[in-house]
Structure 1
Amino acid sequence: MTIDTCPDRLRVDAHDLELIRICRHHNPHGVFGWHRIGEASDDPYLAVVRTRQIGAEKVVLRMDGVGEIEMVNTGDDIFVAGLENADPHAYRLEVTWPGGFTTDLADAYNFLPTLGDMDLYLIGEGRHEHLWEVLGSHVRRYDSTMGDVDGVSFAVWAPNAKGVAVIGDFNGWNCTQHPMRSLGSSGVWEIFIPGVKKGATYKYAIHTPDARRDKADPMARRAETPPATGSIVCESSFTWSDDEWMDTRRTTDWQKKPMSVYEVHLGSWNLGEDYRDLAKDLVDYVKEMGYTHVEFMPVAEHPFGGSWGYQVSGYYAPSSRWGTPDGLRYLIDQFHRNGIGVLVDWVPAHFPKDDWALARFDGPALYEHPDWRRGEQTDWGTYVFDFGRREVKNFLVANALYWCEEFHVDGLRVDAVASMLYLDYSKKDGEWLPNQYGGREHLEAVQFLQEMNATVHRTFPGVLTVAEESTSWPGVTAPTDHNGLGFSMKWNMGWMNDTLSYFKEDPINRSWHHGEITFSMVYAYSEKFILPISHDEVVHGKGSLWTRMPGDAWNKAAGVRSLFGYMWAHPGKQLLFQGQEFAQKQEWGESRSLDWGDKEGWEGEYHRGVTELVKKLNAVYAATPALYTLDDKPEGFSWVKCDDAQGNVLAFIRHGSDGDKLLCVCNFGGMTHKGYNLGMPEAGTWELVLNTDAKEFEGAGNELAETVSTITYPWDNQDHSISIDIPAMSVQWYLKQA
């Protein structure tokens, strides 16, 4: 058969050919590949094989049981071969390229879809909890009588597209080589391409009525290192060794356990280290410091490093800035093997407008809400997810599960929850749309958060979800079956703001701000709280903790130490951002390492002293059930002294579920109080277990009694009292003896 003798029945139909040329064919698999063409009266052909090989000089069809047939180029680099047998047979294509180079290929258009009917049904319903297993790119192998076929399947949700093709380094980025098929009304486009391997770089060429958009894969599990924007075919070969941790986690109630969190930006903790470097250095450091958990600022891929990861372009791809996905798995595995939990920041509130990522993915708004009054956060220059769309909600819920399943994370700290809950968040009149009842509550976002929390907790018992929520929205940590949002814990932003506001005041002025330091106990049990001093408090001109403290270097160090002594004793878990554990002088910057040299300068002893205090705080905290077992219960706390504004003194008792008690005494003033009387609720002896003013922490080292006992001397409406010395700018912990 030659081009002149090739029957029209074997050629591509003119209408199909035009759609192929402009990359707008919904079913290229119906054109290319093997097809039965039935009985014919004017020629002997009962089946046809068609393939498009851009730039090929010759294509030979090698078919099992048939032999070799040289295919005819009918134009547009479309090669065809007629078959006299209507039965399907396995086949391969031998393609000769200019210069005589030959490749042996299986045909991409001779494979069934890699998504089944149930997958498509669940995607349409917005309930596919393992979405990453069917969308995106996946290395696959098929058995064949013509030899095993290795390749990669690609699937993407683009319901508004007129045509979609895979482009990559394996096809010259030519969008006419591998057009994808549309799987009905699901909006999913799919193809399996033999010969593509792990590590290949690709995108989707998405054709809309008026443009072609080359897009990174929303479900890519690896991405190129920015500023490059391609997706990378990824396959994990990692073997986990954290079974003991994972088994224990399933039955752990962290609300009743010590929880001290070290927040980390992986790129700047020690600039230049990747996931595997950090698996040694960071793990050793966090363990030495005594933290129970580490929290990573967002590790999902993001185009702009200055966003710190809070503007995500690849929700399923760990950032390539610091290594491979398996490198991140190794880092988390090492934390688990050392008994340390791992939380990651997760950003479902909004995403950037980069035209190669999620924004206007297939033409009109898809992942974002179509009305700008709901679909944009103008302050941040980002789009807001359309939480009411089933497929979008599925994308996000599955993403939460993905990090728990594939990376064994122990918690998700959900960023910017307040921006999700309120339709008028940071907006002026006329810039937002009320809900169906005329209110400002974002009902679809509420439903999404409830579904995400309930699904994560059902699927992964022991995994925490933590809300960064800066308002008084009720029931953030209430169960979803009680109409709460269902988070495990919430950042206590009110405590953070009031506390830092108080500590920046000169001690001589603090008596006028006493209410700021006591107010947190008014609402301490309204939610299950974490006390955060996060990255947000040491950037954008706010200064570091060190620079916020009044006075000279000694007083600054004493101020930081007394803040930490108070913080670790206050009800709630605690979180401290990297660098604050040694009172870094400068604000944090994502483009440089922490200022480890602060501990080596002429004031270095003060910074080393803060480090030693944090170690001691974590150690005593973990060994003292009174400080954590009743964190969310009013019976876990009682005031001893809260009204001495003039003396800048606070004193309270923390109570444990097993009856143990710890007395915390704080003097935030510049004057030492000698023989200070405290009324006590019962008789007993108390042992000093921590003193932030001790010489080992570079404090003044004033001599304090190691034990103090109550006397029967009424004070402050109590029958018993103790008399103690309280050094200036210091905190002491006393443990009640049995």
Structure 2
Amino acid sequence: MSAARQPSSRTAQKAPPAAPPPAAAAPAAVPAAAGAAAVPAAVPAPAAARPRKARPPQARRAPAAPKGVRPVPALAPEERARLLSGCHHDPHGLLGARVQRGGVALRVLRPYARAVTVVAKGLRAALLDEGDGLFGGLLPLAEVPDYRLLVTYEDGEVEVQDPYRFLPALGELDLHLIGEGRHEELWTALGARPMEHQGVAGTRFTVWAPNALGVRVTGDFCHWDGTATPMRSLGSTGVWELFLPGIGEGALYKFDIARPDGSHSLRADPMARRTEVPPATASIVTASRYEWGDGAWMAGRGARPVHAAPFSVYEVHLASWRPGLSYRQLAEQLPAYVRELGFTHVELMPVAEHPFGGSWGYQVTGFYAPTSRMGTPDDFRFLVDALHRAGVGVIVDWVPAHFPRDDWALAEFDGRPLYEPQDPRRAAHPDWGTLEFDYGRKEVRNFLVANAVYWCEEFHIDGLRVDAVASMLYLDYSREEGEWAPNEHGGRENPDAVAFLQEMNATVYRRCPGVVTIAEESTAWDGVTRATHHTGPGGFGGLGFGLKWNMGWMHDSLEYIAHEPFHRKYHHNEMTFSMVYAYSENYVLPISHDEVVHGKGALVSKMPGDWWQQRAGHRAYLGFMWAHPGKQLLFMGQEFAQGGEWSEASGPDWWLVDPTYSAAADHLGVRALVCDLNGVYAAAPALWEQDTVPEGFAWVASDAAEDNVFAFLRYAADGSPLLSVSNFSPVVRHDYLLGVPERFPSWAEALNTDATRYGGSGVTNPGRRTPEPTPAHGHPTSLRVTLPPLATVWFRPE
């Protein structure tokens, strides 16, 4: 139910006066009907008019009609001050109703109210004004009735539930798991959760703030004045809780935190599952009603291990892929486009809420909320569902390495370092002006591990690509001497980060079958994709990732292709060195957004030569990349050789593939090649079935530096091969001899990046090629082929 339809929310929209009105005396009587005598306020008229008679047994259980309201003992000055200043740990101990000697004591806090009347069956009693918005009274009742409050303001009267009559809405098991740092479904316990509690609809608000003197929930339902809604502390867990009846979906809220120094800070909910559209920063009460239609996808996605399956990824920045589209509008276009290109997966740059669009999502403030820039959380579910129904997996960039310093978000959340380490040398991230997480604190680790599970379970995400892993693993990352503190063994490794990553991976793989985790790790850390229970030479267990970005291959290969062909022979090893360590991890070959932005130039612009040579080099490079051991990732716009760098403000240059553009054929040809690369790749197990074992690869020509030629064989599990040959020189090489296995009687082209349909010169090897009994490259037979200029050719046996 929308908050706007709740009586308490409607009336809360009435603006209070600029300052609290003077305390009003409690009315002595309820006005009687015309011509009738006045009746005391605490005695309902109908009951007084009834004749006395014996009551049946069940009637004795009903609350007796009180004869009058007496004052309750005044609050101790210190307790009163703490309550009114939002610094009390147990407002439920001071507010609400409880049985005591002499009746039922009731006290409520309603700033700006002129009067408060208690209403129940057979009861209507005006409370006494105690000043400062406090109203109280001792009712001559034997037990607490099922009561409501009739609150009179200067401009009207509203009837509401009393939040302080409810028991805690968070269970003991939840609190125990939170205290242990082992609540794998943390989002079900913390944050804002619409629910029915003790038979009443409302929202449970919970937040972890162990250093706070007090916490109040505030929002549009109380004109952002949380004086009347302080939360209670639940034991030693640091969790604060309040159930607010009548508040539902769509309500805006934040937490007003009283810090240890007594000052107040207004904070967004760290566990918010929906937020306002930036630059607004409030959290929004939400609940999902989405009905998924991807059951077949979810049931089958884990049928084949990802390292032994085709895995070709199209990286997308959702906000700029087609600027201005919502999640649901993207669902109408993106799945069909990706499926047409033949990619098996999309990788979405971070979709978690972030205040600054220029960070591309890598400075997250709302770890549990898809960015509201393009719609609601259920709208994002709709997009994921549409991709799955199109046969496309969804990977999301996940950023547990750091968070921004915004004073309404996580930084010093409750007045002291909480999510960040106490030691400023470990807290401050030197590269991005952000803060790192305290991976050694169990609650922080729980916050992040549960967040990884949340995206996979709540949004059916198929993979998490973990950003900036190296900055987490090393205490001296980007720090100079004296700017970092070693670990307890005197080393530079961060054992807390290692333990966190191991726990995250183990938990995700246990709970979410078919999901893959991928590390962006830029160093030679040992065992990134090794199982967590296997210890490597470094003494640490494996980190447990499924795949790792091969940053070394990316850097070396881009260095090579940037050289003029004449100079490439001096850099030949930059293209072969990757095979020295190819099986040390399970790799993805990434040409990501980082390589085509901010002065680095688009992929086609990195190629030397004229426009034809640049496009040819671009195509040849993609052919080499798709055949090389490892999965592959390509950033949007590079599939059609966009010449300009990517800008998050404008996105890909789609006009280049508009048929009305005079040179569209140049770009459409490259896109056609990407479609065919993915198509042949998916149909050729030799290119993916043995990506992670040496048996899947063999060099044919690794030393043809003078020719700028690289040739190698890929093998499927059944031994069937595919021969890939790349000629990175601008000349045609005729009768080029390449050794091949002798058991295959003929070979034919499977793909040629120089084909005219791709914009090439059309130098091909038509028909079948029969091997000749000439030994070459360690094989007893060989093929004589023609190598097109600046091209990659794939051959497979017929």
Report the TM-score, using the length of structure 1 for normalisation: 0.96
Match of 1:676 in 2: 736
| 1:288-337 Cα deviation digits (max 9, x unpaired) | 11110001000000011010000000100110011110010000001111
Q: CA deviation at 1:98?
A: 1.8
Contact 2:700 2:713 in 1 (8 A): yes
Match of 1:175 in 2: 226
Matched, 1:117 2:172: yes
Matched, 1:566 2:663: no
Give 1:316-335 correspondences, 5 Å limit: 316-335=368-387
Contact 1:347 1:416 in 2 (8 A): yes
Q: CA deviation at 1:59?
A: 1.9
| Distance in 2 between residues matched to 1:236 and 1:536, nearest whole Å | 34
Match of 2:214 in 1: 163
What's the secondary structure of 1:481's corresponding residue?
Answer: coil
Closer, same or farther: CA 315–193 of 1 in aligned 2, 3 Å: same
411-420 or 55-64, larger mean C-alpha shift: 55-64
Closer, same or farther: CA 88–331 of 1 in aligned 2, 3 Å: same
436-445 or 209-218, larger mean C-alpha shift: 209-218
User: Pick from 743, 763, 768: which aligns with 1:707?
Assistant: 768
Give 1:31-430 correspondences, 5 Å limit: 31-38=94-101, 45-64=102-121, 66-100=122-156, 102-142=157-197, 144=199, 149-210=200-261, 211-430=263-482
Q: CA deviation at 1:16?
A: 1.7
Matched, 1:527 2:585: yes
Contact 1:20 1:28 in 2 (8 A): yes
| Distance in 2 between residues matched to 1:630 and 1:124, nearest whole Å | 44
Q: CA deviation at 1:264?
A: 0.4
| Distance in 2 between residues matched to 1:143 and 1:230, nearest whole Å | 28
Q: CA deviation at 1:2?
A: 5.2
| Distance in 2 between residues matched to 1:8 and 1:170, nearest whole Å | 30
Q: CA deviation at 1:7?
A: 4.9
Match of 2:522 in 1: 470
Instruction: Give the letter for the 1:105 counterpart.
Output: V
User: Pick from 691, 715, 718: which aligns with 1:658?
Assistant: 718
Match of 1:621 in 2: 681
| Distance in 2 between residues matched to 1:105 and 1:29, nearest whole Å | 17
| 1:28-85 Cα deviation digits (max 9, x unpaired) | 01111111222xxxxxx32112111221222221124x42112222111112232212
| Distance in 1 between residues matched to 2:555 and 2:88, nearest whole Å | 57
User: Pick from 70, 76, 83: which aligns with 1:13?
Assistant: 76
Instruction: Give the letter for the 2:119 counterpart.
Output: R
| Distance in 1 between residues matched to 2:528 and 2:767, nearest whole Å | 42
| Distance in 1 between residues matched to 2:764 and 2:71, nearest whole Å | 102
Contact 1:683 1:710 in 2 (8 A): no
Instruction: Give the letter for the 2:466 counterpart.
Output: V
Match of 1:686 in 2: 747
Aligned length: 725
Matched, 1:698 2:750: no
Structure 2: runs of 5 or more not aligned: 1-24, 29-67, 535-540
Q: CA deviation at 1:606?
A: 1.6
Contact 2:27 2:126 in 1 (8 A): no
| Distance in 2 between residues matched to 1:250 and 1:12, nearest whole Å | 62
| Distance in 2 between residues matched to 1:362 and 1:240, nearest whole Å | 38
What's the secondary structure of 2:241's corresponding residue?
Answer: strand
Q: CA deviation at 1:10?
A: 4.5
| Distance in 2 between residues matched to 1:724 and 1:605, nearest whole Å | 28
Instruction: Give the letter for the 2:678 counterpart.
Output: N
Instruction: Give the letter for the 2:622 counterpart.
Output: F
In our comparison, the structure showing a higher alpha carbon Rg is: 2
Q: CA deviation at 1:383?
A: 0.4
Contact 1:114 1:134 in 2 (8 A): no
Contact 2:602 2:642 in 1 (8 A): yes
Q: CA deviation at 1:96?
A: 2.2
| Distance in 2 between residues matched to 1:91 and 1:717, nearest whole Å | 91
Structure 1: runs of 5 or more not aligned: 39-44
Q: CA deviation at 1:3?
A: 8.9
Match of 1:667 in 2: 727
Contact 1:300 1:319 in 2 (8 A): yes
| Distance in 2 between residues matched to 1:703 and 1:378, nearest whole Å | 52
Match of 2:91 in 1: 28
Instruction: Give the letter for the 1:131 counterpart.
Output: L
| Distance in 2 between residues matched to 1:15 and 1:733, nearest whole Å | 82
Report the TM-score, using the length of structure 2 for normalisation: 0.89
Contact 1:151 1:192 in 2 (8 A): yes
Match of 1:544 in 2: 602
What's the secondary structure of 1:439's corresponding residue?
Answer: coil
What's the secondary structure of 1:409's corresponding residue?
Answer: coil
Q: CA deviation at 1:450?
A: 0.3
| Distance in 1 between residues matched to 2:358 and 2:387, nearest whole Å | 27
What's the secondary structure of 1:12's corresponding residue?
Answer: coil
Contact 1:558 1:730 in 2 (8 A): yes
Give 1:565-644 correspondences, 5 Å limit: 565-600=623-658, 601-644=661-704
Contact 2:465 2:518 in 1 (8 A): yes
| 1:213-253 Cα deviation digits (max 9, x unpaired) | 10000000001111111101111111111111111124331
What's the secondary structure of 2:204's corresponding residue?
Answer: strand
| 1:79-110 Cα deviation digits (max 9, x unpaired) | 2232212312211112222222x222111111
Contact 1:61 1:81 in 2 (8 A): no
Q: CA deviation at 1:143?
A: 5.3
| Distance in 2 between residues matched to 1:529 and 1:194, nearest whole Å | 52
Instruction: Give the letter for the 2:454 counterpart.
Output: Y
Q: CA deviation at 1:638?
A: 0.5
| Distance in 2 between residues matched to 1:655 and 1:717, nearest whole Å | 16
Match of 1:733 in 2: 794
| Distance in 1 between residues matched to 2:266 and 2:665, nearest whole Å | 55
| 1:392-445 Cα deviation digits (max 9, x unpaired) | 000000000100110010000000000000000010001111000000000000
| Distance in 2 between residues matched to 1:257 and 1:223, nearest whole Å | 37
| 1:469-524 Cα deviation digits (max 9, x unpaired) | 00000100000011200000000000000111111111111111100011111111
Q: CA deviation at 1:371?
A: 0.7
| Distance in 2 between residues matched to 1:591 and 1:11, nearest whole Å | 61
Q: CA deviation at 1:209?
A: 3.1
| Distance in 2 between residues matched to 1:682 and 1:51, nearest whole Å | 91
Identity %: 53
Contact 1:626 1:654 in 2 (8 A): yes
Contact 2:487 2:493 in 1 (8 A): yes
Contact 1:535 1:577 in 2 (8 A): yes
| Distance in 2 between residues matched to 1:372 and 1:621, nearest whole Å | 49
Match of 1:42 in 2: none
What's the secondary structure of 1:285's corresponding residue?
Answer: helix
Contact 2:603 2:641 in 1 (8 A): yes
| Distance in 2 between residues matched to 1:238 and 1:379, nearest whole Å | 39
Closer, same or farther: CA 181–356 of 1 in aligned 2, 3 Å: same
Contact 2:327 2:379 in 1 (8 A): yes
